[in-house]
Amino acid sequence: MYCASVFSLVWIFINGNSAGEKTFQANGSEGDFETSKATCSQAGGLLASPRNSAENTAIHQIVVRHNKKAFIGINDIQTEGTFKYLSGEAIRYSNWAAGEPNNGGGTEDCVEIYPDGRWNDRSCNEKRLIICEF
């Protein structure tokens, strides 16, 4: 195995941004929901989409490291109150903050993850840390 791959695996292990088959990465850049989705897709990945608590924890750690909230690949753009992955599949795992989702102002269809790992529905037009999964 090449040195770079070994270092990458060590880095992922130390920083804990891997869960199961997935690795999660951020480079500090920010964007609204559409920009975040496009950025990850251009990089050959997907906007980070936690499907269980291990994945959520890995994403949470990146949010803490950068001290910036991030969008996740979950929204209720299509049907208010029904949160789905980018694939269109309905979510089964969630980690909402108390009182969320509340569709504040009637315009909150995207989901941000807070520095405590909990989720809040929020306007898709906010700019957030871009975290991709590969």
Residues in contact with Ca ion by the rule CB under 5 A: 102, 104, 108, 120-121
Answer for which of 13, 20, 93, 104 binds ligand 291 (CB under 6 A) is: 104
Q: Is 100 in the site for ligand 291 (CB under 6 A)?
A: yes
5/40 Cα distance (integer angstroms): 21
DSSP string, 79-104: STT--EETTSPBP----BPTT----G
Name which of 111 and 129 has its Cβ closer to Ca ion: 111
Which residue in 8, 79, 102, 125 binds ligand 291 (CB under 6 A)?
102
Q: Total binding residues for ligand 291 by CB under 6 A?
A: 7
Q: Residue 98 contacts by C-beta under 8 Å, 6 or more apart in sequence?
A: 118
